[in-house]
Each structure stands twice: as C-alpha cells, then as structure tokens.
Amino acid sequence: MRDLRRSLAVYVVTSSGVVPGRDHLDVARAAIEGGAGTVQLRAPELQDRPGELLAVAEEIAALCRPRGVLFIVNNVLDVAVDSGAAGVHLGQGDEVASSRQTLGPDRVLGVSVETPEQARAAERLGSTYLGVTVFSTATKPEARPVGLEGMRDIVSATSLPVVGIGGIDASNAPVVLSTGAAGVAAISAVGGADDPVQATRELVAAVEGFLRQQGFRLQG
C-alpha cells in the first residue's frame, strides 16, 4: 500500500481538445515527463468507439510501464483489462463488486465517492483507492464538490488512500493534502496548461514540499 500511496500522490487525468491539437497521448507523455505517479485515461468522447479507445489505452500503457507509472482507465473495464492497464476507475453508478471480480485481486480499482457512507461501501466491495471532487470544476460539472471539510470526513471514514480532484493545481494542492488525502489529481491544470510538463513539475514540487514538511518523501 505504501508504493500505491506514493504513486497516487500526483495523479494526472488526461483530456483531449482543451488545447487545440493536444490529445490524450500528448497529455500522458507530458505528465510522465513531469513526474506524475499515476496517469488516468479519461476519454468519454471515445467510449462509443471502443477500438480507438483501446488503441489509445495501449499506447499510454506502453509509455507508463517502463517508467513505473500507474496507468488507470476511466470507466471502461474491458479496455482497462485488454490494454494491460494497472486498473480502472469507476463512478457511483458502476458495479464495483463485479468489477473487482473481473479484475482479480491484484489490479487497482478506484471509485469516486461523495460521502463517508459511499467510502465505506466502496471499501467493503473491494476498492483500492477513492477519488473525491473537492472543488467545483468545469471539467466534471456532474460531480458534487465536497469541500475541504467533506474531504476530511471521507478520509476519516476509510483506511483506503483518498485522492482529491476538481479544481486542483500547484497553488492549492497542499491544502487538499492537509485533509489527510493521499494525493491530488489534476485535469485542466495539466492538460490545459501552456506547458503541461512544467505544470506537472510544479504540482510535483508542491506535493513534495508538503510531504517534506510532514516528514515524508515522494521518492525513495
């Protein structure tokens, strides 16, 4: 679990079209170069084109694997399995228990939650980590932000690592981590940045700085 927590500390979710000409592979490549521990492929525009989604997932998996970066596919279980991803991330409407059965015991299963009750349920059903929307964001308008107090309540309700997402960048990552979160995830802060490699490096530096103050290290 310690290695998983380290991987989750800086988590980049890919986006396509935020910057013209920049696709999921570009964002993944920049995130890896910038030092992210986890990359998630989130491509709702490709979910009705499974062949294309699988091809992109396989390319990103091939980038992540030699660098030791955790690769997660959002929402599409068979693509996660077939691409060789480390795991899948699901929402509340998805079947967590059956997905765990399909993945087996060793692959990663992330679940988005909004309440302590949902967090405890996801843990019982075999989730590996939890994702929580902390601040409002145009990237995920359907998600309900819980704020910092809500994040603390969820962290306190589970033994699983919890990753904050939603409106997070280098400037506010430390305050999110101060809730007890294991990590922070960025979408537009990296995918929409003028220099996504540098944006990732700044996020990594902010997380490392916080962890050093707490007596931990991101690397090593």
pLDDT tens across 163-204, in order?
Answer: 999 999 999 999 999 999 999 999 999 999 999 999 999 999
Q: In this prediction, what percent of the chain has a pLDDT beyond 90?
A: 86
Type and span of the H or E element at 115: none
pLDDT given at position 47: 87
Q: Name the β-bridge partners of 72.
A: 40, 87
Q: 88 near 72, Cβ under 8 Å?
A: yes
Is a pLDDT exceeding 90 seen at residue 114?
yes
Overall average pLDDT of the 133-141 stretch: 81
pLDDT band at 2 (very low <50, low <70, confident <90, very high): very low
| Range scoring the smallest mean pLDDT among 88-97, 201-210, 211-220 | 211-220
Q: Which residue has the higher pLDDT, 81 or 216?
A: 81
Q: Mean pLDDT score of the chain, rounded to an integer? A: 94
| Tokens 């979408």 -> residue | 187
* CB 134, CB 161: distance < 8 Å: no
Backbone angles phi, psi at 65, to 5 degrees: -55, -50
Q: Residues 74-79: what's their mean pLDDT? A: 96
**pLDDT (0 to 100) of residue 56:** 98
State residue 136's pLDDT score.
85
Backbone angles phi, psi at 84, to 5 degrees: 80, 20
Tell whether pTM > 0.75: yes
Categorize the per-residue pLDDT at 217 as very low, low, confident or very high, splitting at 50, 70 and 90. Answer: low
Stronger pLDDT, 17 or 211, i.e. the higher one: 211
Closest to 149 measured CA to CA, from 167, 184, 176: 176
HSE of 19, CA atoms in CB hemisphere, 13 A: 17
CA distances from 149 to 135, 168, 207 (A): 11, 16, 20
